[in-house]
Amino acid sequence: GSVPLDDIPVWTPAAGGSEPNRYPRNEELDQKISLYSGDITKLEIDAIVNAANNSLLGGGGVDGAIHRAAGPLLKKECASLHGCETGEAKITCGYGLPAKYVIHTVGPIAQGGVGETERKALRSCYKNSMETATENAARSVAFPCISTGIYGYPPEQAVHEALATVREFLDAHHDKLDRVIFCVFLPTDKELYLQNLPLYFPAA
């Protein structure tokens, strides 16, 4: 079955971590973040983000899972979009998914290592996805760990770009999104987010 937004708990920051916070507390954000461990295709929310490729015609990993769950109409709409540049985002309907929309973004390929280009592109994915969501009045958005699978971006670096970009977007536009869900699939990613969430969304 699908997982309604109301069943996804809000992440509560624990006070007193060992590392210094990278951002001050912003109480307005306290009810807006979730860490969800599981399959993004099950989430009954406004928009899920797909870690797609430039063709937008489907691939492996989370992209394959989303296309399988959404059904063939998703590919049909994607084919009408004429691809997507790295770092950009395009929106479609969710079709057979419980989510209303899919926001397709294309992460950087980082198999040759991470430089400023890759880092900026990864940040753009998060930022442009949230902008696309708000332009379409989507108020709940779930992200997979973009680029950290087949595209080879080191997850322990990607987590900081993900968290910083979401924090910065919500600081600027906290009235535009009700919830941002970090949807992790691997236990190692769950650990990375648990470790690093308090640095970006601190309790105090």
Query: Interaction with ligand ADP in 54-93: which residues (CB under 6 A)?
Result: 61-63, 65
Residue that has been written with the tokens 């929106």 in this structure? 91
CB of 28 to ligand ADP, least distance (A): 28
Residue 28 and residue 6 in contact, taking contact as beta carbons nearer than 8 Å: no
Q: Does residue 177 touch ligand ADP according to CB under 6 A? A: no
| The binder of ligand ADP chosen from 17, 30, 39, 100 (CB under 6 A) | 39
Burial class of residue 151 in the structure, from the number of CB atoms within 10 Å of its CB (0-12 exposed, 13-18 middle, 19+ buried): buried
* Residue 180 interacts with ligand ADP (CB under 6 A): yes or no: no
Q: Does 103 bind ligand ADP (CB under 6 A)?
A: no
Query: What are the two backbone dihedrals, phi and then psi, of residue 188, each rounded to the nearest 5 degrees?
Result: -65, -35
Q: Reduced to 3 states, what is the DSSP secondary structure of residue 37?
A: strand
Q: Which residue has the tokens 């998914």?
A: 97
Please provide residue 86's backbone torsions phi and psi, each rounded to the nearest 5 degrees: -55, 130
Q: Interface with ligand ADP by CB under 6 A: which range of 82-90, 116-124, 169-177, 184-192?
A: 184-192
- 165 binds ligand ADP per the rule CB under 6 A: no
The site that binds ligand ADP (CB under 6 A) totals a number of residues, namely 21
Amino acid in position 199? L
Min CB(18)–ligand ADP separation in Å: 26
- Cβ–Cβ < 8 Å for 179, 5: yes
Query: For ligand ADP, which residue of 41, 86, 132, 165 counts as binding (CB under 6 A)?
Result: 41
Binding residues vs ligand ADP (CB under 6 A): 39-41, 51, 61-63, 65, 107, 144-151, 183, 185-186, 189
